[in-house]
Structure formats: structure tokens, C-alpha cells
Amino acid sequence: MALPAQGRIAYIKARLLDPATGLDGPGGLLADGEHIVDFGQGLFQPEGLPEGTRIVDCCGSCLAPGLVDIRMQLREPGYEYKESVQGACWAAVKGGVTSMVCLPNTLPVIDDVATVEFVARRARLIGLTKIYAYGAATKGLQGIELAEMGLLAKAGAVGFTDGIHPIADALVMRRALSYAATFGLTIVQHPEEPSLAAGGVMNEGEVATRLGLTGIPACAESILLARDLRLVELTGSRYHAAHISTAEGLETLRRAKDKGLPVSCDTAPFYFSLNELAVSDYCTFAKLSPPLRCEKDRQAVMEGLCLGLIDAIVSDHAPQDQDSKRRPFSQAASGGVGLETLLAVTLELYHNGHMSLLSALHLVTAGPANLLGLEAGRLMRGGAADLVLFTPDTAWIVVADVSGSKKSKKSPFDNRPVQGRVLRTVIDGRTVFSASAAAEESV
């Protein structure tokens, strides 16, 4: 359980990083209770610190806003055998995630006020990562009748989506876009044309043919996107495309953005760091939705990140129980854990020279927070002391069996070498995770 905030805490000898303002330099940060009092270079000199202030010596490590993950599956209520709220929160804080937004595909579905409030209560009770919820766009995620978006918005829903299911009916999507616009909120779509994807278990192409598996064509993504973006043009509503995985899909979104339409998109680390070859030995850990694509698509996603076409990186955390994964590939469930590896795999963009450290961090902090209007992802005087302390260069190997998730250990990155280790995660001034790598004392 999280410890209560303990008065004033001074983080000294840090490399301060704030992608929202471009801050990158040596300095310190002072937190008092739940809030940031001040931060910057030479903050504690020459005046010193008030008596009783706790000191955290960061030893030159990076101190940044806590990560913001706007796409993950919570599993509770209803699917606790896959994951619990507490297990997800523990994995999140080990990965430096201080705020996350869950999909509505729980049981019962988050399509009424009571379920939105349940998620909020559970998060407060556990006292770890802050959890926000998407409301269902349609009742029961059935894609037929719109949910009560107005009531859900008042209860705290930060957007509307049918989660892992696309809103397939064009008229329903048009109505959803118009309805959400009245509350200034966003429709989040899983862009996959369902009739083209039906029965598919991996990316359509040479690898699928060789393995004898039914494929999902890349155009399943771009076709549904093209339809939706015409409806956005018609309604003027805000639209967000989730986990983009193909070059075709990115080109469709680029044209929409060039027109000035209110559209945005995200991708997950799977789609810029892995390709379809990860399933060559029928590895069900790498069975995802959307599926891992060909190398050309992976490179297109990487380019989309570098060019700023993709607005955020999400974990796409979708925990599955062992029985659902250890099956023949065509029968296994899609999805894998991703919270604990979100920072390290995102930092590959920096280590491989594709973008600066600040640019990479922006995609998992201020970028996603801005999309949904969350008060998170930035260092701000008077703002919440939600922080992550990490070393960007520390190497480690992802071992799924010792991941932070309590029940699901199925990571597509199992045995992958990465760089970037979280040392400490702070939420509202409380240290909720510590790798015991930072020296601490009181004055």
C-alpha cells in the first residue's frame, strides 16, 4: 500500500525533464504534501532547506512527470482471474505510470454511472496509480444503441469508446460523434473493419501463408479510418484512432490532419518495436489486436512518431490468464501486458537516435494528457507531485515471469534487452514504488 505524503520533500541533484516546456537540465524539485512547490536549477542554494525537510538525492538520475497511459484494460470488475485493479496499479507504478485510462470492456460494461464510480472508488482505495475511465459509446458495447454519454461525462468519463470492438455501423458512429461533441469529449475508435478482420489471427501476408494461419489485411485499418474521417468532416467532432499499426492507416490520418480535422491517434510499443516475425514460431505471447504487421508497416509507424503524426504512445496493456494464452495460436486470446515496459521500450526511440529524450517522453506524458484534457504529464508549480525518477541508460532484460502484473505474465517483449530503469514513482507526493536506488535523509 502507498505511504502517506510526509511534509516537505526535496529532490536534489536531479536531471529535470519536462517535455511540456522543454526543460532539460540539472536542478531540484520541492514538494510539500501532494503538490509541487517549486523546481529548477539552483533551487536550494544558497538559502538551504527548512528544518524537517526530507531529502531525496537523485544522484544525477532523470526526474520527470509521471507517465500517462491512455489505453489499458483493467479487467476488474468481472475478469479478476485475468488481472485485478491492484495488480494493474502495481505493474503501472513499477513502470513509472502515475495516471492511466481504462477501457470500458469490464463486466458489467462501463456504460452506467455506477460502474464509472466503482472504478474511481477502487483506485482511491488502493492509493496507487490514478485511474480514469472511458465510458462505453454504445450500451453493452453492442454497437447498436448509444450509451448515456451525458450522464457518464458528469460521472467522470474522459471519452467514449467501444474498447476492443470497432463501432462498425456508420449511422451509429455518426450519432456517437455528434452526441460526444455536445460534451466536448472524444470518440476513441478501434479502427478495424470487422468483416475483413473476421476469423483472422495475425497479419495477412507471406508469414501467415507459411504458418497456415488466417490473416487480417492492413486495409482493414485504413478502410474503417477513411469512413470515420468522412464522418468527422461531416460532424466536426473530435476523433481519436487507437493503436495505429499500418502505413495505409497513417497515410489516411495524415490527409485528415492536413485538412485540419480534429483527429488524433496513438500507437503502442509493440507496433514500432516488433513485426510479424515475432509470431513465426506460433508464439501466442505475440498475438495481439491489431496484429503485429510487416516490417514496412513497423518502419512507417516509427516514421509517424518521428514526424509528429502520431500523438501519443500507449501501453495497450491487455492482460490474459495462462489458460487463454497457452493454446494453439488460432485459439489463443489476443493481448499482453505492457505497463511495466512502456517507458523502457519508448526509450528505444531515444537510444536508437530517432528522437531526443524529451521528444520520446512527450509521447508518454504531456502528449496523451493533452489529448484527453487530464491534469497530468507536466511539472507545474502548485500541480500534483506525480513524478518518476529513472535512469535512461540502465540495461535490463524483460522477464515476463517476474513482471509487476500479479496474474498475467504474458509479454510480447519476454527476454528482450531494454534500457531505462524506474527508480522511484511518486503520486501526490507519496512514494508508491522505490527501487532503493536513491539515497534519502532528513535535515
Dihedral (Cα; 7, 121, 131, 82), 10-degree rounding: 120
412 inside domain? yes
pLDDT at 402: 62
- List C-alpha distances in Å: 399 to 106, 289, 412: 28, 22, 10
pLDDT at 251 over 50: yes
Strand partners of residue 235: none
Average pLDDT of every residue of the chain: 94
Residue pLDDT, tens place only, 13-62: 999 999 999 999 999 999 999 999 999 988 876 567 777 889 999 999 99
pLDDT at 442 over 50: no
pLDDT at 417: 97
pTM of the model: 0.95
pLDDT at 1: 44
126 inside domain? yes
pLDDT at 49: 76
Query: 48 exposed, middle or buried (CB, 10 Å; 0-12, 13-18, 19+)?
Result: exposed
For residues 423-428, give the mean pLDDT.
97
Show the domain range for 232.
66-377+393-418
158 inside domain? yes
> What number of other Cβ atoms are within 10 A of residue 99's Cβ?
26
Residue pLDDT, tens place only, 366-378: 999 999 999 999 9
pLDDT at 439 over 60: no
For residues 397-421, give the mean pLDDT.
81
For residues 92-99, give the mean pLDDT.
97
pLDDT at 443 over 60: no
pLDDT at 171: 98
pLDDT at 441 over 60: no
Annotation says 316 is catalytic? yes
pLDDT at 396: 96
pLDDT at 409 over 80: no
Q: Which of 18, 316, 386, 428 is catalytic?
A: 316
325 inside domain? yes
210 inside domain? yes
pLDDT at 403: 56
Residue pLDDT, tens place only, 312-346: 999 999 999 989 999 999 999 999 999 999 999 99
Residue pLDDT, tens place only, 104-114: 999 999 999 99
Cβ atoms 181, 168 nearer than 8 A: no
Looking up residue 196, the CATH number of its domain turns out to be 3.20.20.140
350 inside domain? yes
Residue pLDDT, tens place only, 175-221: 999 999 988 899 999 999 999 999 999 999 999 999 999 999 999 99
Is the dihedral angle over the CA atoms 33, 34, 38, 42 positive or is it negative?
A: positive
Task: Express as a percent the part of the chain with pLDDT over 90.
Answer: 90
The CA distance from 377 to 313, in Å, is 13
Number of domains the chain contains: 1
Question: And the C-alpha cell for 161?
Answer: 469508446
The CA distance from 194 to 220, in Å, is 8
pLDDT at 2 over 50: no
Half-sphere exposure of 342 (CA within 13 A, CB side): 37
6 inside domain? no
1 inside domain? no
pLDDT at 44: 77
